[in-house]
Every structure is written in structure tokens, then in C-alpha cells.
Amino acid sequence: MSQDAFRLTSPDGKVSDLPVRKGTIGPDVVDISTLYREQGVFTYDPGFVSTGSCASEITFIDGEEGVLMYRGYPVEQLAKHSSFIEVSYLLLHGELPTATQLEEFDRTIRMHTMLNEGMLNFFKGFRYDAHPMAMLSAVVGSMSAYYHDTTNAADAAHRDIFAHRILAKLPTIAAAAYKLNIGQPFMYPRNDLNYCENLLHMFFAVPAEPYEIDEVAAEALDLLFILHADHEQNCSTSTVRMAGSSGANPYSAIAAGISALWGPAHGGANEAVLSMLEEIGDTSQIGKYVAKAKDKNDPFRLMGFGHRVYKNFDPRATIIRKMAHKVLKKLGRKDTPLFDLALELEQVALKDEYFIEKNLYPNVDFYSGIIYRALGIPTSMFTVMFAIGRSVGWTAHWREMITDPSGKISRPRQLYTGSAQRDYLAIDKR
């Protein structure tokens, strides 16, 4: 047996040498693609806890060491020195842009922020209190009904224009959903503003008076988008890859990712954290809720805690916690009671045996909502903000999947536990 193979011997002695594939860094993988043909068995891994679904060059995570890198660059360095638009270029193209490339990319994004005017009619049909994630997934899915000129995945120019449209238009769609929820008129994007300034303008400006953009708010948003931009094969990214693997048009694949992100176990957690903090109310109730989170018979979980991969601090949570402090102070927001409650809850949980034993640390969602709220963004919009940041990661993974020469449609198998064959029974015999 070669040293780069796992030898598998079946109960009746059949031997398979399964090749080991090595990445640049991180765990090796055992290639089991011949297993069924050789051994007549499937592997079984609900939730894909130990399963690599693809090879990727985009993002690396080390859950034990709390490492997150985009195209090899540590997220801490990108958070400190880069911008969301520059990080978006890096994720999409694999290299940091030159000054000229960045200027061209930034200009392209600014020129694609408007929606086809017909798309605005959707917002006349939604209920005023429709959840923004429902509107985002619906309107992004409708992009395939408008942009027929860029659905040929084999055409590199189409792939680029699709990427530009998703990145540029999501803030505009998000802002239209927000304006519907608060009964204010939609504000058109402005090409003279950068990505985050434009989002703040579309969210908070009104036709009745000039709106002054708060640079601290724009900077905080930019950092949050960098930290949310990508995260390897998480649930929503895997959904985009799977939907795209059938050859479905890319806008529909992104809409599928938005829907997957909405769940409270995933991107919906930031909204759930704020609701949980408000339910806890004050520090005197922390013990009761930590006990509920530990009680096997109680479905309550401490939202914003735990992670499938990070069994140490989520590096994003560390950066966001520091920024939350700075933003609250700079914006002079009175929201510190919630932030103080979050800090105290974190301290109590981190000292608790149950959380220590199960490696449950605050994740990216635990503090991000505090900042969004301090910026005046309502809780219902928090997962939409997550989707805006993650849209570039979804797009980068879709491009990597669709251009993979060995790519094929994703179609997992199963362990069948239903009825053995049985014959149809006439209704008078049942």
C-alpha cells in the first residue's frame, strides 16, 4: 500500500487503498470516490461534520487555532489594511489588485448599483411588514428574469458581469426592502459615494432634507462586510455550489444561498442574538438563561455561541467585539446596556464547565448585531447585512465551482431506513 493511501478492509476481507490528497495547509482528505464501486458501501456523515465537498483555493479556516485567511491573507491583516471592495476583488480574482485594477473595479461596482426599474415594482406587491430576507431572496432570484445577457456560465465576461451585478445591487435591493418596511420612499444609489457610504445614503437619506454620512458608521460597515465576506464551505456557500452544480443560472444559485443563510443556526443568528439579549433583559437573568442553554430538555440555545469549525475563539468575533466598543463610544450611542449585557453573558458562559467542555465560544454573530443596532439598522435587517458581505464569497465559490474542469452535479446518496418492498393495498383493505 502506498504511504499516501488509507487501506480499508471490508468485513469479508475486500481491500481498498483509498488515495490521500494533500492541500497546501490543513487536514489531508481521503478520496472515497471509488468506494461504492469497490466496496458497495456509502460513507455516512449527516451534516458533513467530517466531509470535504470540494477542493478550493479561496478561504482557509483552522478551527483549533482560530485562523481565517482569504486567498492566504489573514483576516486580521485585511481588516486592518484593506477595504471590502479590495477584499471582494481578492476573493473573486485570487490576488490583491494593483491601484489601477482597484480603481477600475471600484468604478465598475459604482456604475452597477441601480436596479432595472421594473424590479422596483416587486416592492409595491410585498406587505409593508414583509421580512427583508424574504424580499431579498425573491428579488435576487428575479434577477434571472431581467439579466438574460449574462447567464452563460461558460463565458468569462458573463461571469464577471454577474459578479459585478450581485455585489453592486444587493445593497440597493436591501435598502428598497428597508424603505418599504419603514414606509419611506426608495432612495436611488449615488455613484459619487463609495460602497458603504452609498448603503448608508440609501438606508437613511430622505428626499425632504440633505443627509450627512457618518464616516465612523461607514468604516464600521466596511469592516463588518470584510469579516463576513467568506467562510469556506459553510451552509449557504455549499448551497450556492450545489444549486449552481446543476447548471442553474447564477442568480438563482445566489438566491438559494440567501435562503439557506436565513436560518437561525446560520446567518439568522445575529438577529436571534439581539432578540435573546432583549429577552434576557439584564445581568440578573444571565444565570437562568445559561442554565436553559445547558438543559438537554430545553431547546433554548445561547445564540451567537458555538461553531461547527471554530473550537476556539472565532477570530471575527474578537475583532468585532473590539470594534463594537469603539463604535458605541464614537457614536455616543446609549445602547451600551445591551453591549454590557453581552460582555457579561460572554464572561459567564466562558467560565461555565458546559461551554468549556463543548468548546462553545462567541461566534461572528454574537457582537455584530450590537454594531448594526448602534448604526440605526433594525434587527430584522441584520441577516440582510450578513448576506451583503457574504455575497462576494458565494460568487467566488460559484465561479470556482463552475470553472472546475472536473466539476459534476452534486448528488449525495443516503442510508435508506424506510419500508422494505410491499404491495399496494386496495382502500377497502386498509
Nearest of 59, 399, 404 to residue 229 by alpha carbon: 59
Beta strands in 294-383 (DSSP E): none
| Residue of 71, 307, 321, 373 interacting with ligand SDX (CB under 6 A) | 307
Distance CA 378, CA 37 (A): 53
**Listed ranges 26-34, 149-157, 215-223, 356-364: which one lies at the site for ligand SDX (CB under 6 A):** 356-364
At 335, list the grid cell: 445602547
Q: Exactly one of 307, 314, 352, 397 is catalytic; which is it?
A: 307
DSSP letter string, 170-202:
HHHHHHHHHHHHHT-------TTS-HHHHHHHH
Q: Is-catalytic flag, 112?
A: no
Single out the residue of 197, 346, 365, 400 in contact with ligand SDX (rule: CB under 6 A): 365
**Set 131, 230, 365, 397: catalytic member:** 365
Q: Closest CB to ligand SDX among 252 and 363?
A: 363
- Nearer to ligand SDX among residue 320 and residue 375 (C-beta): 320
Site for ligand SDX in 230-259 (CB under 6 A): 231, 234-235
Residues belonging to the chain? 430
Instruction: Name which position in 48, 107, 358, 403 contacts ligand SDX (CB under 6 A).
Output: 358
Calculate the CA dihedral of residues 301, 302, 308, 312 and round it to 10 degrees.
-150
Interacting residues with ligand SDX between 175 and 234 (CB under 6 A) = 231, 234
Q: Is 311 in the site for ligand SDX (CB under 6 A)?
A: no
Task: Give the Cα separation of 244 and 226 in Å (integer).
Answer: 24
3-class state of residue 88 by DSSP: helix
Q: How many residues sit close enough to ligand SDX to count as binding (CB under 6 A)?
A: 23
Report the amino acid identity of residue 1.
M
Can you give 22-36 as a three-state secondary structure string?
A: CCCCCCCEECCCCHH
Question: Positive or negative, the Cα torsion across 376, 277, 84, 392?
Answer: negative
Q: Which of 178, 262, 305, 372 touches ligand SDX (CB under 6 A)?
A: 305
Query: Of these, 276, 364, 384, 392, which contacts ligand SDX (CB under 6 A)?
Result: 364
Active site residue 365: yes
Nearest approach in angstroms of CB 266 to ligand SDX is 4
Residue nearest ligand SDX (C-beta atom):
306
- Residues at the site binding ligand SDX, with contacts judged by CB under 6 A: 47, 231, 234-235, 265-267, 269, 293, 301-309, 358, 360, 363-365
Residues serving a catalytic function are 307, 365
